[in-house]
Amino acid sequence: MTDKKSSNVVWHQAVIDRRLREQQNGHKSVILWFTGLSGAGKSTLAHAVEERLHATNCRTFVLDGDNVRHGLCGDLGFSDADRQENIRRIGEVAKLFLEAGIISLTAFISPFRADRERVRSLVLHGDFIEVYCKCTLELCEQRDVKGLYKKARAGQIPVFTGISSPYEEPLNPELVVDTSTTLEQCVEQVMECLRQRGIL
């Protein structure tokens, strides 16, 4: 976590606030935090849920792990410290989307519990929904969509979650989705969670 270097800054309270934006949107805003191993289906599920939400006129945005490393987090590597900073930045961005009245869907391995809990602590209770995309390492390796596990096993990627770096499973996630089932079943689970929590 970076030290705050800004000084002599005062928070400006906007006239148009989250409540007014949510009223205009016709739904509440929330952070849907998809976490799990590489290949567990986080991005696939996040984008599929976004499609479903978009079809019902919800305002959404997916923050995808690979995509943000092309810009916002392009200066970070994969050391533990860089992974922590990566998640810190995304947490702050997701918080901004929350205030904008938008449903943000974040698809990040985010392997460390402490980092996920730090993001949770940025927002009010109920604004952060941790969605654990549960999938066995064996199945993730079978899928190996990006060929990363093969490279990690061959020693070409020195630090890789699930192989040479740990993944700390969520202890009390709001939702556990078994991504070995169909995508449609997984999407419906997330949608039902949103309905039950009064987001939609």
Looking at beta carbons, which pairs linking 23-27 to residues 24 or more positions away fall under 8 Å? 24/101, 25/58, 25/59, 25/101, 25/102, 26/57, 26/58, 27/58, 27/59, 27/103, 27/199, 27/200
Catalytic residue at 38? no
Domain positions in the chain are 18-196
% residues pLDDT > 70 (the chain): 96
Average pLDDT over residues 26-43: 96
**With the C-alpha atoms ordered 52, 197, 27, 106, is the resulting torsion angle positive or negative?**
negative
Is residue 138 within 8 A of residue 132, CB to CB? The reply is: no
Is residue 152 within 8 A of residue 163, CB to CB? The reply is: yes
pLDDT tens for each residue of 127-170: 999 999 999 999 999 998 889 999 999 999 988 999 999 999 99
pLDDT tens for each residue of 52-66: 999 999 999 999 877
Average pLDDT over residues 95-113: 96
2 has pLDDT over 60: no
94 has pLDDT over 60: yes
Residue that has been written with the tokens 């392997």 in this structure: 111
CATH of 18-196, one of 3.30.565.10, 3.40.50.300, 3.40.50.150, 3.40.50.1260: 3.40.50.300
What is the pTM (predicted TM-score) of this model?
0.89
DSSP string, 132-183: EEE--HHHHHHH-TTSHHHHHHTTSSSS-BTTTB-----SS-SEEEETTS-H
When the pLDDT of each residue in the chain is averaged and rounded to a whole number, the result is: 92
**Catalytic position from the list 110, 121, 165, 180:** 110
Between CA 46 and CA 68 the distance in angstroms is: 15
1 has pLDDT over 60: no
